[in-house]
Amino acid sequence: MRKSLLVLTILLVGVGMCAFGQVPYPGTLRIGAISEAVTLDPVNAYDTSSGQQLLQIYEGLLAYAPSSITEYVPWLATAVPSYDNGLVVAGEDDFGAYTLVTFPIREGVYFHNGNVLDPGDVEYTFERCLVVDPAGGPQWMAYNVFFGLDYNSLADVVDAFGQDGAKQKIQEAVEVSGNNVTFKLYGPFGLFYSSLMNDRTYWGYIVDKAYSITNGAWPQDFDIELGVDWKMGPEGAASPLYDIPNGTGPYMLNLWLPVEQVILEKFDGYWRGWDGDHVDFMITFNISEWSTRRTMFEAGDLDICYVPRQYMGQLIGTEGLRTVFGYAAAGNSGVMLINDVNPESQFIHSGQLDGKGVPPDFMNDIDVRKAFHYAFDAATYAEQIYLGEAVPSYSQLPIIFGDAVYQTYMYGFDLEKAEEHFRKAYDGQLWDLGFKLTLEYNIGNDMRRVSMEILEANIESLNPKFDLDVVGLEWASHLPAYQSRQMMVYRSGWGADYIHPYNFIQPYYHSQGNFMRVQGFGTPETDALIAQIGLATDVAELNRLCHEVQLWALEGAYTIPMVDPTGRTWERTWVQGRWFHSMGASSGNFKAYDVWKAVEGPGFILDNILFPGMASEEW
């Protein structure tokens, strides 16, 4: 018995100490993340966690040229259409001026199931984008370019043309001719490539028509009776393509264990081939606990790891790690205040102004909103949580947009003013009765958690009858919860779809924008101004319009500005060849196809053209 125990112990210790050589699992890239994909159906995906996977699985017709945010290279198309090469033609009809853009489709490209890419797949993809319009999803950009900036949803198109007219317009929007696909755009052509057609806009990735229809996706049948909310296909987890992706990208889905990990494996039939150095697998582990993630990263069991900024001091100087920093992050975040939440929401407790909850329209009182604004200490947050690698935001337009940003702080941390506004709210009743409210953030994002705890502590310090608590939701639950107006106060953020102020102004401030649609403070007058921002060609005019909209939003106190950070990412020194494009400058937004693992190599590929301050340090 004792001998058996000894053998078992030696076996276990031996397995434990088994050395893999200097680079463990050289063919597998292992990522430690704090959230998992919400969906692997491109038409529904509009979050960075889903995008990280889709970027490896699917592809678009074009891709950004390296170190450029205005130039493109052909990808699944064989040319970048332009007026010069005759593939872009302007015209006019009863509806207005339009642009015809023709893409020759690349031949010899295979989907993961062996089907060959053809122009019909491209037509199907974009028609499906236009008929399956998920609430809070990305397709508003498709309506913007196909129909104009006044069109942000399928409902807008149906309102304008009626149901049959909308169907006809959608069919006319994408036409196949031989090996070409022609798009008819009534919206600004300037936004077409940047918002829909490139390698970072995963909502425009090409899907396999035959495979999609076989698996129950939209059958490309325009005679179908339109369903709820004018949609022709199910959304979210109910989408047939939710967890069975089939793209043309270099990696295909091997296994998705919900909440645990996503495994992608090399697609042997990839059209660009596999010459050179690559990894065969990419595994994304969902590890919300920082201590566990950190220990795995230090032990060499993760190659790339999400490190909350406030904990980075724990890793500085650790042998075998590399950090890349000093690059502009094309994104920001804010604390959203919702005007009219779902009365059944548990986040508002009693749902009454009785000291045990808040009414659903609590945030309709501007004094409440202003009090919340004054109760947040952004300067200390930037200094202590971001360790000085951020500045307080002026508004929801990131500082990278320079003069377009309204650069005056309207609110600062001032508890006296916060108290003053709370005392005025609800004609003084709120101060006497108190309230109870739950604030929300996405689990694993400790920086967001801390911001909500700061808000909680500061507001509670004003009045013992103010009772707030903070709850974290998993990312996959966070998104639908805010879209269905469950939360009254939550922290969320926006990563650029393309580099233009419109791409931030629209989601934050337009009544149909991703956030404002839920917040419910949008107005037709502001929407009109926002549409002008999208069309403005004169820089001074663009800046003036941006200032006007920001001023409106700040005076209304709809969203509490947080901070504008610079980016920082972490990886093991054996990771080689990773690089960011400006449009995806986050730790998860890179192409695994470009990466390999080796002791020697170029390390992280710095892009000092797009990011002059970008630098790396390793130990």
In the complex with other proteins, which residue's Cβ is closer, 11 or 539? 11
Closer to other proteins by CB, 104 or 236: give it: 236
Q: Which is nearer to other proteins, 25 or 579 (CB)?
A: 25
Q: Which is nearer to other proteins, 136 or 522 (CB)?
A: 136
Angle at 174 between CA 173 and CA 175, to 5 degrees: 125
For residue 387, count CB atoms less than 10 angstroms from its CB and return exposed for 0-12, middle for 13-18, buried for 19 or more: middle
Residue 25 or 271 having the CB closest to other proteins: 25
Q: Are 296 and 32 in contact (CB under 8 A)?
A: yes
Cβ proximity to other proteins, 98 vs 251, nearer residue: 251
Give the chain's count of helices (H) and strands (E). Answer: 18, 22
CB of 539 to other proteins, least distance (A): 39
Q: From the CB of 15, what's the least distance to other proteins, in Å?
A: 5
Smallest gap from residue 31 Cβ to other proteins (A): 12
Smallest gap from residue 528 Cβ to other proteins (A): 26
Phi-psi region of 162 (alpha: psi -120 to 50; beta: other; left: phi over 0): left
Of 172 and 289, which has the nearer Cβ to other proteins? 289
Output the smallest distance, CB 24 to other proteins, in A: 9
Q: How far is the CB of 73 from other proteins (least distance, A)?
A: 34
Q: How far apart are the first and last CA of the chain?
A: 47
Rg (CA), the chain: 25
Cβ closest to other proteins, residue 378 vs residue 481: 481
Q: What is the DSSP letter of 381?
A: I
Q: Give the E-state strand segments of 10-95 in sequence order.
A: 28-33, 62-64, 72-74, 88-93
The angle at the Cα of 564, spanning 333 to 485, to the nearest 5 degrees, equals: 10
Six-digit token string for 244 = 């069975």
Least separation in angstroms between residue 471's CB and other proteins is: 6
Residues that bind other proteins (CB under 8 A): 11-13, 15-17, 25, 28, 30, 134-136, 228-229, 234-238, 254-255, 257-260, 263, 281, 283, 285, 287-289, 291-292, 295-296, 298-299, 301, 342, 344, 346-347, 443, 471-474, 476-477, 480-481, 483-486
Q: How far apart are alpha carbons 555 and 550 in whole angstroms? A: 8
Whole-angstrom distance, CA of residue 140 vs CA of residue 530: 14
Phi-psi map region of 236: left, alpha, beta (phi>0 left; psi -120 to 50 alpha): left
Comparing CB distances to other proteins, the nearer of 94 and 225 is 225
Give the integer Cα–Cα distance in Å for 379 and 401. Answer: 20
Minimum CB separation of residue 371 from other proteins in Å reads 26
Please say whether the beta carbons of 589 and 573 come within 8 A. Answer: no
Q: Shortest approach of other proteins to residue 128 CB, angstroms?
A: 17
DSSP character string of 556-567: HT-EEE-EEEEE
